[in-house]
Amino acid sequence: MLIVMKQTATADEMDAVCERIASMGFEPHPMPGATRTAIGVTGNQGPVGAHLLKEMCGVLEVIRVSKPFKLVSRETRDRTIVEVGGKVQIGKELAVIAGPCSIESYEQASTVAHAVKAAGANIFRGGAFKPRSSPYSFQGLGKEGLEILATIREETGMPVCTEALDEENLELVAEYADIVQVGTRNMQNFSLLRKIGQLRKPVLLKRGMAATLEEFLMSAEYILSGGNYDVILCERGIRAFSTHSRNTLDLSIIPAVQTNSHLPIIADPSHGVGIREAVEPMALASVAAGADGLMIEVHHDPDAALSEGAQSLLPGQFQQLMDRVAKVEAAVERPQ
Ligand code: PEP
Ligand code: MN
């Protein structure tokens, strides 16, 4: 259920509607938009007594949300802009989140960070807690990696994005990160998602490698239903039958998300294809398809990388990608 308020509705009228929703035993979620404010109602198992809300002052209409996802639905709001670290507005300007797969040392992170910043990236990335298929592979530097990220933010002015692998370290990661990343393997870790919903900090939710659009949006719904509305979705490739690439970057989900949700969606061609040479063409295609941003893995010495060197771009290749992305962005005129 969605309560759409009149443009002229006052703050007191909004509060009265929220109070009535709460008194009915449900949870109100005011979602201010550019042209109107809507109040999402969650917590109801069956129909809500719409007549009790319809006649209240300031209410324009009461809409039954037809989709299983409510707060992330496009019916709730036109567009969400996620502000990151007071520097980047994702959904408004193209976000380019670049950096190594893992933070390996201060020297490595600093070298890559300065290179990606010079090329035009606006957010730095790097894993401190890594989800690895093998327990014997490098698992990340943990807290030391987070401290390096904080130093890099200080040095470069770039906000930082890093993954929270589990509930145990979530609080620690959230202390350091400007964007908390939820990896593909955790997209349906519902207890982690609930905890992330309690944060008041942007979250990058990566699509599960076998998740449908509905499952993806329902996972985002877990986070919004906890009151954290700053969610950025990320397509990072799905498992298919192809063997020519690591995954299949499903660009068709970009317009599908934009039709069904107000949340911004970015693309991660690095994990999407897993092959260095294929990253740039898929990045260009992502921007042409309307992605709100890119996540790109970059390493100054990929052969020596402790994780995912094969898909990491060299700084020069990243610079070339950025130059070409700018041309595609201008050509497709992303809506502001
Ligand atoms: C990553 O961003 O380095 C990562 C592990 O991503 P994903 O969860 O998409 O595999
Ligand atoms: Mn990686």
Given this model, what pLDDT does residue 36 score? 80
Residue 130's pLDDT is: 97
- Ligand 1 mutation target, pool 162, 232, 236, most atoms within 8 A of CB: 236
Is the Cα torsion angle 62, 68, 70, 76 positive or negative in sign?
negative
Ligand nearest to the CA of 272: 1
300 CA to centre of ligand 2 in angstroms: 15
User: Would you give the end-to-end CA distance of the chain in angstroms?
Assistant: 29
Distance, in Å, from the CA atom of 283 to the CA atom of 289, rounded to the nearest integer, reads: 10
pLDDT score, position 335: 63
Phi then psi for residue 123, to 5 deg, are -140, 140
Nearest-atom number in ligand 1 for the CA of 102 is 3
Which residues pair with residue 34 across a beta bridge?
none
C-alpha 307 – ligand 2 centre gap (Å): 7
Q: Which ligand is nearest to the CA of 268?
A: 1
Q: Which atom of ligand 1 is nearest to the CA of 236?
A: 9
Candidate from 181, 187, 219 with most ligand 1 atoms within 8 A of CB, to mutate: 181
The phi, psi pair for 303, rounded to 5°, reads: -65, -25
Q: Strand 2-5 and strand 37-42: pairing?
A: antiparallel
For ligand 1, whether the C-beta of 236 sits within 6 Å is yes
- In ligand 1, the atom with minimum distance to the C-alpha of 125 is 2
Residue of the CA atom closest to atom 1 of ligand 1: 101
Low-confidence ranges of the chain (pLDDT < 70): 46, 335-336
**Contact indicator for 115, 89 with CB cutoff of 8 Å:** no
- Pairing between β-strand 2-5 and β-strand 59-63 as defined by DSSP bridges: antiparallel
| Residue-level pLDDT at 5 | 92
Give the number of other Cβ atoms within 10 Å of residue 40's Cβ: 25
CA–CA separation, 316 and 319 (whole Å): 5
Q: Which ligand 1 atom lies nearest to the CA of residue 186?
A: 8
Which ligand is closest in space to the CA of residue 305?
2
Separation between Cα atoms, residue 185 and residue 137, nearest integer Å: 17
pTM: 0.95
Looking up tokens 């599960």 gives 208
323's CB contacts (< 8 A; 6+ apart) are none
The H or E element containing residue 254 is helix 253-260
pLDDT at 37: 86
pLDDT in tens, 85-135: 999 999 999 999 999 999 999 999 999 999 999 999 999 999 999 999 999
Ligand 1 atom closest to 209 (CA): 9
pLDDT at residue number 336: 57
Q: Report every protein residue that has its C-beta within 5 angstroms of ion ligand 2.
A: 101, 308
For residue 133, count CB atoms less than 10 angstroms from its CB and return exposed for 0-12, middle for 13-18, buried for 19 or more. exposed
